[in-house]
C-alpha cells in the first residue's frame, strides 16, 4: 500500500493532489464511507474530483460511537465481499472521527489491507482522527480495543466542511487542539480563547503538524507518541461510562474531563483553573468512582496491571508511563469536585 501521499493536503490543492492520486491508484472499485449526516457532504466533495470513479458505491452507517462496533465492521466487510472488492479497491472515508477510525480499520483488515483515504469533515477528525495511522473500533464497552496502525494513502482537509459544524462537535476538536497546546507549551491561552468564528486555517495546520511530527518519530507508539494520550486515560473511561449510563458525551467533552484530572495530578493548578474558566469540570458522583477506575484498568497504555498516565512535569514538558494509584486518582477527582 502506498503511503507517500498521506500527509494532509488542504483546500483546492488537496483536491488537485487527490485527483492525481486517484489516477495513480486506478482502483478496481471505489467505496465512499459516510454516516447519515456526512452523506450530505458528497454533493460538495464528489464534483471536485474529475478522476473519481463515476460508479463509486456509497457505504452509509448511523452516526455516533455505536457504529465503531464489531457488528458494523462485519456488515461492512460483508458488503465489500458482495460487491466484489479486491485488494486493488479503495475506501474514501468522508466524515468525522468515527468514520475515519472505522473506515481505516475496515480498509486495513480487509484482504490484509486495501488503500484508503481520509476526508475529515469535523474539527476533531481534522486535528486528530484522520492523522497518525491509528484506527480501530470499540469492544465490550471499551474504547478502541480492536485496531491497527496503518497510514492512509492521503488525507484531504477542507475547512469549508466546518461551516455547519454543531457546537458540541467544535468543542470536541477544540479539546484536542488544547491538548496539543499543553504538550507543546505554545499558544495555550490563545487557543483556549479560540472561538469557531475566529478559527483560521493556520490554527488547524499547526495542530496537525504538531501531531504529525510526533507520529513520524514514533509511529507504533513505543515511546514519544504516548504523550498524545494526555487526558485520555480518564477521558476514555468517562466516555464509555457516560455511554453505559445512558448519558453519552462527545469525545472532546470526555478529553476535557481527563485534562482536568491530568493537570491536577501534574501539579499545574493555574492551567487547570484556566481550563475550568472555559470548560468547567463535570461533577463525578461518588458511586461512579469505582466504575471509572475499573475502566481505566483496561486502558491500552497500562503495563503490569498498573494504570499509566501521561502527565506534565511542567507546562510543555510531558512525561508518560507514570504509575497512578487509585488513591492518588481519587484524591484528584475529589479535589476537582470540591472546587465546584
Residue 30 and residue 107 share a domain: yes
The CATH number that applies at residue 210 is 1.20.1090.10
Q: What value does the mean pLDDT take over residues 186-197? A: 96
Give the mean pLDDT of the chain: 94
Q: Choose among 310, 339, 338: nearest CA to 324.
A: 310
Per-residue pLDDT at 330: 98
Question: Could you tell me whether strands 154-157 and 90-95 are parallel, antiparallel, or unpaired per DSSP bridges?
Answer: unpaired
Please report the pLDDT score of residue 1 as a whole number: 34
Query: What pLDDT is attached to residue 5?
Result: 59
Cβ-based neighbours of 334, under 8 Å, separated by 6 or more: none
Contact between 189 and 203 (Cβ < 8 Å): no
- The residue segments making up the domain with residue 240 are 167-338
Give tens-digit pLDDT for 105-116.
999 999 999 999
**Mean pLDDT on 231-258:** 95
Q: Is residue 2 part of a domain?
A: no
- The answer to the question of residue 234 being in a domain is yes
Domain boundary among 132, 164, 196: 164
Q: What is the pLDDT of residue 3?
A: 39
Q: What is the pLDDT of residue 281?
A: 98
Same domain (yes/no): 112, 150: yes
Boundary of a domain, candidates 164, 193, 213: 164
pLDDT at 75: 98
Q: Residues of the chain with pLDDT > 90: what percent?
A: 90
Q: Does residue 2 carry a pLDDT above 70?
A: no
List the grid coordinates of 180.
496539543
**Looking at the structure, do residues 128 and 110 belong to the same domain, yes or no?**
yes
Position 3 in a domain: no
Encode pLDDT of 275-296 as tens digits.
Answer: 999 999 999 999 999 999 999 9
Query: Is the Cα dihedral 237, 240, 242, 244 positive or negative?
Result: negative
> What would the 3-class secondary structure string for the chain be?
CCCCCCCCEEHHHHHHHHHHHHHHHCCCCEEEEEECCHHHHHHHHHHHCCCCCCCCEEEEECCCHHHCCHHHHHHHHHHHHHCCCCCCCEEEEEECHHHHHHHHHHHHHHHHCCEEEEEECCHHHHHHHCCCCEEEEEECCEEEEEEEECCCCEEEECHHHHHHCCHHHHHHHHHHHHHHHHHHCCCHHHHHCCCHHHCCHHHHHHHHHHHHHHHHHCCCCCCHHHHHHCCHHHHHHHHHHHHHCCCCCCHHHHHHHHHHHHHHHCCCHHHHHHHHHHCCCCCCCHHHHHHHHHHHCCCCCCECCECEEEEEEECCEEEEEEECCHHHHHHHHHHHHHCC
**74 in the same domain as 150:** yes
Residue 304: the pLDDT is 81
In this structure, are 75 and 48 located in the same domain? yes
In sequence order, which residues have a C-beta less than 8 Å from that of residue 306 and are 6 or more positions away?
323
pLDDT (tens digit per residue) in 19-43: 999 999 999 999 999 999 999 999 9
Mean local confidence (pLDDT), 13-19: 95
Q: Which CATH number fits the domain that encloses residue 146? A: 3.40.50.1970
On whether both 96 and 187 belong to a single domain, the answer is no
pLDDT at residue 193 in the model? 96
- Same-domain pairing of 171 and 158: no
Lowest mean pLDDT among 130-134, 148-152, 153-157: 130-134
Q: Is residue 232 part of a domain?
A: yes
Residue 15, in any domain of the structure: yes
Instruction: Identify the band that residue 131 occupies on the pLDDT scale cut at 50, 70 and 90.
Output: confident
Q: Angle CA(195)–CA(198)–CA(178) in degrees, nearest 5?
A: 50
The verdict on 194 and 334 lying in the same domain is yes
- Spatial separation of the C-alpha atoms in residues 301 and 177, rounded to whole Å: 21
Mean pLDDT, range 3-24, rounded to an integer: 85
Residues 137 and 231 in one domain: no
Kindly state the average pLDDT of the residues 317-338.
Answer: 97
Instruction: State the cell numbers at 272.
Output: 487547570
Domain boundary among 104, 134, 164: 164
Asked if residue 4 has pLDDT above 50, the reply is no
> Do 73 and 185 fall into the same domain?
no
**Is 4 within a domain?**
no
Domains held by the chain: number: 2
The yes-or-no verdict on residue 143 having pLDDT over 50 is yes
pTM of the model: 0.91
Specify whether 160 is located in the same domain as 179. no
Q: Which of 3-12, 41-50, 199-208 has the lowest mean pLDDT?
A: 3-12
Query: Same domain, yes or no, for 257 and 155?
Result: no
Residue 186 inside a domain? The answer is yes
Does 1 map to a domain? no
Amino acid at each position: 500500500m502506498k503511503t507517500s501521499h498521506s500527509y494532509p493536503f488542504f483546500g483546492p490543492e488537496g483536491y488537485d493532489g487527490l485527483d492525481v492520486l486517484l489516477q495513480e491508484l486506478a482502483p478496481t472499485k471505489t467505496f465512499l464511507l459516510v454516516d447519515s449526516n456526512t452523506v450530505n457532504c458528497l454533493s460538495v466533495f464528489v464534483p471536485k474530483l474529475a478522476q473519481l470513479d463515476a460508479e463509486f458505491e456509497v457505504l452509509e452507517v448511523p452516526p455516533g460511537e455505536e457504529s465503531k462496533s464489531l457488528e458494523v465492521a462485519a456488515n461492512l466487510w460483508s458488503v465489500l465481499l458482495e460487491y466484489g472488492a479486491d485488494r486493488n479497491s479503495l475506501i474514501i472515508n468522508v466524515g468525522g472521527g468515527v468514520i475515519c477510525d472505522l473506515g481505516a480499520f475496515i480498509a486495513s483488515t480487509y484482504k490484509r489491507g486495501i488503500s484508503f483515504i481520509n476526508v475529515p469533515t469535523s474539527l476533531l477528525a481534522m486535528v486528530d482522527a484522520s492523522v497518525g495511522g491509528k484506527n480501530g473500533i470499540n469492544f465490550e464497552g471499551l474504547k478502541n480495543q480492536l485496531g491497527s496502525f496503518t497510514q492512509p494513502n492521503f488525507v484531504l482537509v477542507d475547512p469549508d466542511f466546518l461551516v455547519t459544524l454543531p457546537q458540541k462537535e467544535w468543542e470536541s476538536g477544540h479539546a484536542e487542539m488544547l491538548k496539543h497546546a499543553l504538550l507543546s507549551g505554545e499558544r495555550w491561552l490563545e487557543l483556549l480563547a479560540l472561538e469557531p468564528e475566529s478559527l483560521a486555517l493556520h490554527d488547524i495546520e499547526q495542530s496537525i503538524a504538531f501531531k504529525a511530527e510526533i507520529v513520524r518519530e514514533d509511529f507504533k507508539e513505543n515511546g514519544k507518541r504516548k504523550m498524545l494520550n494526555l487526558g485520555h486515560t480518564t477521558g476514555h473511561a468517562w466516555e464509555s461510562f457516560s455511554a453505559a449510563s445512558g448519558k453519552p458525551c462527545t469525545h472532546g467533552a470526555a478529553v476535557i474531563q481527563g485534562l482536568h484530572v491530568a493537570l491536577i495530578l501534574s501539579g499545574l493548578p493555574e492551567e487547570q483553573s484556566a481550563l475550568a474558566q472555559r470548560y468547567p469540570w463535570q461533577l463525578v458522583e461518588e458511586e461512579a468512582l469505582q466504575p471509572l477506575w475499573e475502566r481505566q484498568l483496561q486502558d491500552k497504555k497500562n503495563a503490569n496491571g498498573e494504570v499509566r498516565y501521561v502527565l506534565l512535569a511542567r507546562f510543555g514538558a510531558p512525561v508518560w508511563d507514570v504509575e497512578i494509584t487509585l488513591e492518588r486518582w481519587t484524591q484528584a477527582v475529589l479535589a476537582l469536585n470540591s472546587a465546584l
